[in-house]
Amino acid sequence: MTDPLRLFTEALDMPTGMAKHEALERAARAADTSGDKHLPAACRLALIESCYYLNRYDLILAPIAWCHNAEKRDPSVFSDSDMRSLNWAHKWIPVGLRRDPRFTLAQIDSVTDSLETRYKRFGFSLQPVWGQRALTAAHVGDFELADEHFARFIGTERDDMSDCAGCVVEEQVEHLVMRGRYEEALRHAEPALAGRFTCSTQPQGVLTALLPALTALGEVERARDAHLVAYRQSREQASQGYVGLHLEFCAVTGNVPRGMELLRRHLDQVHHATSPIGTMNFAASAALLLSRLDSDRVELAVPMPGGEVSRTTAGQLRSYLTSRAQELALEFDARNGSSRQSSRIRSILEAADAVHVPLAVPNPAASPPLVTADPVELAYQAHLAYEENDFLTGHRLLKSLPADLDPLLPSKLAAQLAARRLVVFPGPDVLSLLPLGIDRLAAVGDLDQAARFHARFGMLQAEAGDLDGGIAIVEQALVQAEAHSSSVGRILVRLILCELLDNRHEHTRSSELLDEALELARETASERVMSVLLEQADHEARQGNLDDADKIMDQVLTTPGLCPGDRFHALRARMAIAEVRGDVDLALQTSSELVEFVRNYPGPWRPDVLLHRASMVDNLDRAGAHLRDLVDTVAVCRTEGTPLETAHACYVLSSGYLAHGRLVEAAEALEEALRLLPVEAEEDATLRIRFRLGSVCAELGEHAEGRRHFQAMLDLVADAPSASQAMVWAGLGSTNHALDSFEEAERCHRRSAELWEEAELPVEACRAWIKTAAAIADSSPDVALEALERASTHIGGELADRLTAEMLELRGYTYTQLSRHSESLADNLRAASIVRDLGEPDWEIFLMVRAARNHMGLDAPAVAEQLARDSVALISEDTPPSIIARVLDVLTRALDAQSKPVSSDPTARTLTARLRG
């Protein structure tokens, strides 16, 4: 026969979910026949708690009924803590019934009356009762009664049966927002947001409830922060109903792309919400968001009951969600005898745009409009722009041409544009398709353009890694150009060949070609002189003759009437030369000129130019001063760049946010970078993004998420240098420590320490061994002491004193765990002396308190008392409350041990008042 207690403990160890709930039900049935007096009650209380975590309050009725019967038969089956849990759970019953139209208003009122009777019987505050009555009245649309109950809710004091302070504020803010009392809602929430929260649904609940108020009041920055913080903390809590409110926020604040990312992540809520009201609210919010899309053809994958996935379009899903929300609203209205829910759902579906709220990752920039004109005339203009060396304009015109224009054009122009498209918009097959395009040009008699594109083909061949083959092709093109091309064609082929020969270090031949090209330009094609001079400057720069290159660049940039293509080339070359010289200011200045110049010329160079400047300021640690530029870079990359470029832009943007301490926004930018990074991206890019993201998550207290990123990096750094591996193992160790996985933390820090030793970095190795010891100082103090001994062998250099103090502090603590108080005291006092010389009073206070505790262990409370009093002199306005609490604790214990009064001690009273303040 299966042991009921084993069934119960195994069920408790399962992760939250229906599988756990069903296992608890099996354990409860087995417990009923076991003869155990308390186990059946424990199983029911666990089932009630499971309902809460599943947000399935509709399932709570059966275990609650069992508990009521058990309480009548024999209340002793419940311990004091069990009875408190049972009393607490009664608040959830009206919530569950209100969320499901199958339960009547009479049933909701009945369980609320029972809640009031029960709380009166036990002497509890009726604040939760008034809260439930206010929610029910608002649900049915009786706002006068809702306001009346709400006034009682606010006016009644909290006690142990009240929700946490944050959840109470959330309920109050929701009511005030519903009533349009936005400023009052904001004032009401601010004290709570300034405090600390212990509940798993706060502060995200309060922040989410505030979103409509913040947008209505035009509090753009606070609305941004509230959305980002609240969604990050609630994205794994979809069943709590917060997601829909964030979809609405994105829909009305101009953040539809962000909203669609959120919607895709939570599409399971379409068919898997945990209550009818949850289904209704999510459906309305999602339908609102989908109504803001430019196209109904966006494809979505919706998880279905049974595990299948339905492929649908945004338009089809919006239609379904709208109908579903309205149908459920009618069911609630029929139950409630009012039209409140239909009216509320209609207000969501018809919500107007609010103030625009820029988020951490900006929306794509507005797409450059295509040029509209007669297609044939547009084709001529595109070809002419390239012929006039204005590729910036030519690109935009070429992109504006219809894809199926070819049959409508004269054969020669059609062939020219077909070849041009292959070069301007190269696909993976360009090396096989371009020769066909060249043959087509020859077939229509355009041997001039055939030679030019033959040279382009050689350039592409060289860029693909075959430099010699590319040069051979361009040499052939030069022969063809000499026989069939105009002066311009002969010049262009020479310039291409010059660049490739420079790459093979055949600079003499390159110089000869440039001289020929310049002579041709001056004699027969003066409009190409600047292009030749620019290639000459590049030629000098490729040989390291930067001064000569600069002189040519100055000459070009001061020439009146310089064509756009040549100006772009000149600015880019000047920026590159400045970077090579290390002239940071000139490089940044020229980069900014280039960015401003290309603003009027949409094309792939825009994200490239902006991203180059962004990388430059990041490498110079100036990202914080260029945050607005970095935001613009991401916006442009999202419109005109590749996913890899956008990922890089988001990474650099995170540098700007980190420079200002804006961790949440940095994490958002890094998550977007990781999402966009192509599978085939270089490992370095993946590592860079993951490492920073893991570190930021850890700083935000998202240790499980941070651990996931560090864990994912282990395989990627397996063959990396020791220092790179050590950094990843250190991050993994720190996140495991924060998650109380101390054995795993010790293993990771130990591996990190060994790798730092391999890398011959003693400071890092020392600190890694200290962290190794810290992870196991409580559970394995002897092993921890061995790690600290290993740490001491690496102490030296400028940080010797600080490292010694860190090691002594932890060794003193470890000795305490072994009850070796004399040795612990010696280490603490020595560490305190070092820290005093370092000028760090908070650390010194901490060590003095530790020493006082050792004196307590040595039965010397008078000495402990004096140490505690001495440490008070070091307390400043900036001393953290946690340290003050430590001082008060050890002083209190020392006074108690000597039978001295604590309540009348002036120092104890001062410290207590400071903590309360």
Virtual CA dihedral for 698, 702, 703, 705, nearest 10 degrees?
-110
Mean local confidence (pLDDT), 125-142: 94
pLDDT of residue 389: 87
Which positions ≥6 away from 881 have C-beta within 8 Å? Answer: 914, 915
CB 846 within 8 A of CB 868: no
Which of 528, 526, 548, 529 lies closest to 537 in space, CA to CA? Answer: 548
Angstrom distances, CA of residue 358 to CA of 119, 222, 257, 634: 47, 11, 12, 13
pLDDT of residue 57: 79
pLDDT of residue 171: 85
Q: How many other CB atoms are there within 10 angstroms of residue 216's CB atom?
A: 17
pLDDT in tens, 320-331: 999 999 999 999
DSSP one-letter code for 33: T
Q: Taking 90 as the threshold, does the pLDDT of residue 129 lie above it?
A: yes
Mean local confidence (pLDDT), 144-167: 86
Q: How many other CB atoms are there within 10 angstroms of residue 812's CB atom?
A: 25
> Phi and psi dihedrals of 686, rounded to 5?
-60, -45
pLDDT of residue 763: 94
Distance CA 595, CA 563 (A): 17
Q: Taking 90 as the threshold, does the pLDDT of residue 59 lie above it?
A: no
Angle at 172 between CA 171 and CA 178, to 5 degrees: 90
pLDDT in tens, 406-427: 888 999 999 999 999 999 999 9
CB 555 within 8 A of CB 533: yes
DSSP one-letter code for 525: -
CB 617 within 8 A of CB 629: yes
Q: Taking 80 as the threshold, does the pLDDT of residue 373 lie above it?
A: no
Q: How many other CB atoms are there within 10 angstroms of residue 170's CB atom?
A: 25
Distance CA 687, CA 701 (A): 21
pLDDT of residue 902: 85
pLDDT in tens, 60-114: 889 999 999 999 999 899 988 889 989 988 988 999 899 999 999 999 999 999 9
Secondary structure (3-state) at 191:
helix
CB 800 within 8 A of CB 834: no
Which positions ≥6 away from 330 have C-beta within 8 Å? Answer: 341, 342
Most confident of 665-669, 832-836, 910-914: 665-669
Residue whose pair of structure tokens reads 């010397």 in the numeric block? 860
Distance CA 601, CA 890 (A): 70
Dmax (CA) for the chain in angstroms is 112
Which of 813, 877, 816 lies closest to 842 in space, CA to CA? Answer: 877
DSSP one-letter code for 739: T
pLDDT in tens, 496-545: 999 999 999 999 999 999 999 999 999 999 999 999 999 999 999 999 99
pLDDT in tens, 851-880: 888 888 888 899 889 988 988 888 888 888
Q: How many other CB atoms are there within 10 angstroms of residue 355's CB atom?
A: 15
Distance CA 448, CA 442 (A): 9
Which positions ≥6 away from 393 have C-beta within 8 Å? Answer: 385, 564, 601
One-letter amino acid at 468 equals D
pLDDT in tens, 750-766: 999 999 999 999 999 99
> Phi and psi dihedrals of 157, rounded to 5?
-70, 150
User: In angstroms, how far is CA 462 from the centroid of its own chain?
Assistant: 40
DSSP state letters, 408-447: GS-HHHHHHHHHHHHHHS--TTHHHHHHHHHHHHHHTT-H
Which of 486, 549, 547, 556 lies closest to 521 in space, CA to CA? Answer: 486
Secondary structure (3-state) at 320:
helix
DSSP state letters, 770-784: HHHHHHHTTT-HHHH
DSSP one-letter code for 238: G
pLDDT of residue 240: 67
pLDDT of residue 848: 85
Which of 665, 748, 770, 658 lies closest to 361 in space, CA to CA? Answer: 665
Distance CA 355, CA 374 (A): 40
CB 256 within 8 A of CB 293: yes
Structure tokens at 402: 């219809």
Which of 8, 5, 37 lies closest to 23 in space, CA to CA? Answer: 8
pLDDT in tens, 340-368: 999 999 999 999 999 999 999 998 888 77
Residue whose pair of structure tokens reads 């809590």 in the numeric block? 237
Q: Taking 60 as the threshold, does the pLDDT of residue 221 lie above it?
A: yes
pLDDT in tens, 617-656: 999 999 999 999 999 999 999 999 999 999 999 999 999 9
> Phi and psi dihedrals of 313, rounded to 5?
-105, 165
Which of 387, 391, 385, 449 lies closest to 415 in space, CA to CA? Answer: 449
Residue whose pair of structure tokens reads 């650099």 in the numeric block? 652
CB 121 within 8 A of CB 194: no
Structure tokens at 457: 């083909």
One-letter amino acid at 260 equals M
Distance CA 480, CA 474 (A): 10
pLDDT of residue 566: 92
The shares of helix, strand and coil residues in the chain, as percent rounded to the nearest 5, are 75, 0, 25
One-letter amino acid at 151 equals A
CB 868 within 8 A of CB 849: yes
Residue whose pair of structure tokens reads 């001994």 in the numeric block? 789
Q: What is the chain's alpha carbon radius of gyration, rounded to the nearest angstrom? A: 36
Distance CA 656, CA 659 (A): 5
Burial of 526: CB neighbours in 10 Å, binned 0-12, 13-18, 19+: exposed
Structure tokens at 157: 């004091």
Which of 370, 254, 300 lies closest to 635 in space, CA to CA? Answer: 254
Q: How many Cα atoms sit within 13 Å of 154 on the Cβ side?
A: 15
pLDDT of residue 642: 92
Structure tokens at 754: 């060994």
DSSP one-letter code for 210: H
Secondary structure (3-state) at 303:
strand
Mean local confidence (pLDDT), 892-899: 91
pLDDT in tens, 573-619: 999 999 988 899 999 999 999 999 998 888 899 999 999 999 999 99
Report the Cα–Cα distance between both ends of the chain, in Å, rounded: 59
**Residue percentage of the chain with pLDDT more than 90:** 66
CB 126 within 8 A of CB 134: no
Distance CA 758, CA 18 (A): 49
DSSP one-letter code for 126: S
Query: Per-domain residue ranges for the chain?
Result: 235-359
> Phi and psi dihedrals of 578, rounded to 5?
-60, -40
pLDDT of residue 237: 67
pLDDT of residue 273: 83
Q: Taking 70 as the threshold, does the pLDDT of residue 239 lie above it?
A: no
One-letter amino acid at 750 equals R
Q: Taking 60 as the threshold, does the pLDDT of residue 822 lie above it?
A: yes
Burial of 903: CB neighbours in 10 Å, binned 0-12, 13-18, 19+: exposed
Residue whose pair of structure tokens reads 């400045």 in the numeric block? 578
Band of residue 195 on the pLDDT scale cut at 50, 70, 90: low
pLDDT in tens, 725-759: 999 999 999 999 999 999 999 999 999 999 999 99
Q: Taking 60 as the threshold, does the pLDDT of residue 1 lie above it?
A: no
CA dihedral over 537, 539, 545, 548, signed as positive or negative: negative
CB 394 within 8 A of CB 385: yes
Q: What is the mean pLDDT of the chain?
A: 91
Band of residue 660 on the pLDDT scale cut at 50, 70, 90: very high
One-letter amino acid at 871 equals S
Does an H or E element contain 249, and which? helix 242-252
Mean local confidence (pLDDT), 5-11: 89
**Residue percentage of the chain with pLDDT more than 70:** 98
Distance CA 811, CA 789 (A): 9
